[in-house]
């Protein structure tokens, strides 16, 4: 019997050939996907480049704190000229001040006051959306009418800050950029860490490397007194029991300031602001949204303590705060370091800036009712456990001794000025609600 032909070799050969074809196909596929991948990357990079060139301001959103760091590298000579023009003093021995948070409430007022007396001011602000950014834009418009430029950028953007210090030899920094608000810290804790701690450290890093190093005046807060029960609050009282994360980050700022003063010879002054209010104020603050809600006929929550006592604040009018900030700047000594190295001891200070006269929140509401000629719908409730403290009361004798700080505006007078601004800005006829020029209803 003839034996069947031996096909095993042919089969093996065919299997081997098909294996080789598969390998070659896969290689071909891999090579073409690599080319495709690389081409995509190049196209994306070209897009980013074009986008960055065409959009010089930095894009920062409050909640993510993502900053387009690339963009700061592309500003040209004309931009630098604008910076210098804004920052150059117009009086003999005038200051050149970098104001962070310049589109904010206190920042805008201080920038105007500095410029008006002949100092140079360059503003920096990230225009985040913690509250209506159109109000920040309106403040920016006001400042630009006084030749004050505000750069859009974040204090966490090291290349941008370094660039600003390269272009301008700032004598002073007034650092007011921060995540404010006591109660919001429970909703967005990370934003407090990003601005009040990381951002502050970044500013100090860049400042200590600058030549010359600037003197720095910055915003701390009355909230650092936390659970302190001694009254009125003095700078020598304990501040190691913060009641909110906001307070804790401001207290951390005071300790961080100590470190940079100690290691690098930076001149640092912290100002503990006590519930600042007035025209162009912050819509997240009680006096502001009470006004809005009373006009709109909405119910307002008026807090009382767990013991059913009135909650009180040492409300401080903005013009008094501005005087305090300028006084602190005027008496700030030069930093002693250079090239990132300390050359000798430098000034380290902290001051209360309050009104020395606490007012219960119920009284604040009564004053607003009188000014608005409207009755508030009040809902008196126990203060939620959200970081609030029952009262604040400033002893300002240290600020008085060192730079003549003396608050002169009582709450009724200050609120009258605020309400006048409010109805003008939002286009409200008292008792009648109207659309404002920004399209929001007041
Ligand atoms: O000094 C500070 O360092 C801080 O001041 C400010 O905080 P506060 O003093 O808490 O101001 P603000 O919120 O206007 O509440 C005022 C009063 O109204 C009470 N309050 C508040 C809300 C409400 O619905 N009802 C109410 O009774 C409330 O219990 C309080 O008694 C700044 O916001 C903060 O950024 C920081 O700068």
CB contact set of 404 (below 8 Å; sequence gap of 6+): 327
pLDDT at 432: 47
Ligand 1 test: best mutation among 286, 312, 316, 366, most atoms within 8 Å of CB? 286
Ligand 1 test: best mutation among 361, 379, 389, 394, most atoms within 8 Å of CB? 361
CA of 29 to the centre of ligand 1 (A): 64
Model confidence band, residue 339 (pLDDT cutoffs 50, 70, 90): confident
How high is the mean pLDDT of the chain? 87
Q: Is 394 in the pocket of ligand 1 (CB under 6 A)?
A: no
Strand partners, 160: none
pLDDT at 33: 57
H or E element: which one contains 24? helix 8-54
Residue 320 burial (CB count, 10 A): 22
Atom of ligand 1 nearest to the CA of 311: 31
Q: Is 217 in the pocket of ligand 1 (CB under 6 A)?
A: no
pLDDT at 5: 38
Q: What is the pLDDT of residues 61-79, one digit of tens each?
A: 333 333 444 455 557 899 9
pLDDT at 211: 94
* Atom 18, ligand 1: residue with shortest CA distance: 286
Q: Is 128 in the pocket of ligand 1 (CB under 6 A)?
A: no
CA dihedral 291, 293, 220, 90 (to 10 degrees): -50
Ligand 1 test: best mutation among 131, 181, 182, most atoms within 8 Å of CB? 182
User: Over 90: is that where the pLDDT of 25 sits?
Assistant: no
Strand partners, 219: 271
Q: Which of 246, 287, 303, 422 is catalytic?
A: 246
How far is 266 from 334, CA to CA, in rounded Å? 8
pTM: predicted TM-score of the whole model, two decimal places:
0.84
How far is 10 from 7, CA to CA, in rounded Å? 5
Q: What is the mean pLDDT of residues 163-191?
A: 97
Q: What is the pLDDT of residues 241-299, one digit of tens each?
A: 999 999 999 999 999 999 999 999 999 999 999 999 999 999 999 999 999 999 999 99
How far is 210 from 208, CA to CA, in rounded Å? 6
Question: In the structure encoding, which two tokens stand for residue 63, read together?
Answer: 């909640």
Model confidence band, residue 341 (pLDDT cutoffs 50, 70, 90): confident
Strand partners, 123: 99, 150
Q: What is the pLDDT of residues 403-423, one digit of tens each?
A: 999 999 999 999 999 999 999
Active site residue 246: yes
pLDDT at 431: 57
Question: In the structure encoding, which two tokens stand for residue 262, read together?
Answer: 């100690």
CB contact set of 87 (below 8 Å; sequence gap of 6+): 96, 97, 98, 120, 121, 122, 168, 170
pLDDT at 340: 84
CB contact set of 150 (below 8 Å; sequence gap of 6+): 102, 103, 123, 124, 125, 140, 143, 144
């Amino acid at each position: 019997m003839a034996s069947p032909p031996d096909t095993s070799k042919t089969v093996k050969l065919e299997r081997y050939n098909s294996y080789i074809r598969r390998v070659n196909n896969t290689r071909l596929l891999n090579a073409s996907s690599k080319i495709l991948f690389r081409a995509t990357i190049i196209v994306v990079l070209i897009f980013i480049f074009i986008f960055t060139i065409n959009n010089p301001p930095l894009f920062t959103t409050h909640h993510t704190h993502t900053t387009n760091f690339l963009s700061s590298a592309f500003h040209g000579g004309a931009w630098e000229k604008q910076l210098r023009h804004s920052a150059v003093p117009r009086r003999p021995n005038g200051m050149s001040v970098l104001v962070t948070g310049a589109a904010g409430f206190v920042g805008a007022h201080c920038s105007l006051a500095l410029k008006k007396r002949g100092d140079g001011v360059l503003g920096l602000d990230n225009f985040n959306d913690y509250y209506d950014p159109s109000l920040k834009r309106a403040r920016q418009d006001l400042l630009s009418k006084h030749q004050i430029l505000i750069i859009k950028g974040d204090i966490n953007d090291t290349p941008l800050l370094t660039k600003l210090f390269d272009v301008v030899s700032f004598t002073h920094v007034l650092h007011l950029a921060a995540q404010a608000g006591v109660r919001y810290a429970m909703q967005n804790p990370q934003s407090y860490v990003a601005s009040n701690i990381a951002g502050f450290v970044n500013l100090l890093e860049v400042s200590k490397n600058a030549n010359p190093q600037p003197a720095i005046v910055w915003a701390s807060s009355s909230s650092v007194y936390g659970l302190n029960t001694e009254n009125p609050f003095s700078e020598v009282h304990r501040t190691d029991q913060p009641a909110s994360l906001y307070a804790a980050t401001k207290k951390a700022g005071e300790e961080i300031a100590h470190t940079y003063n100690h290691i690098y010879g930076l001149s640092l002054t912290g100002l503990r602001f006590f519930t600042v209010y007035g025209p162009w104020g912050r819509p997240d603050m009680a006096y502001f949204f009470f006004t809005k809600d009373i006009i709109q006929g909405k119910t307002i929550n008026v807090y009382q303590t767990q013991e059913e006592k009135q909650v009180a604040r040492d409300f401080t009018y903005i013009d008094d705060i501005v005087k305090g900030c300028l006084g602190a700047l005027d008496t700030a000594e030069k930093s002693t370091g250079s090239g990132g190295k300390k050359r000798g001891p430098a000034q380290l200070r902290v001051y209360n800036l309050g009104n020395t006269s606490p007012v219960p929140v119920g009284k604040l509401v009564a004053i607003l009712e009188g000014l608005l000629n409207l009755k508030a719908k009040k809902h008196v409730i126990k203060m939620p456990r959200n970081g609030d403290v029952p009262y604040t009361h400033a002893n300002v004798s240290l600020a008085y001794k060192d730079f003549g700080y003396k608050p002169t505006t009582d709450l009724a007078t200050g609120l009258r000025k605020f309400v006048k601004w409010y109805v003008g800005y939002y286009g409200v006829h008292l008792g009648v609600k109207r659309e404002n020029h920004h399209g929001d209803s007041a």
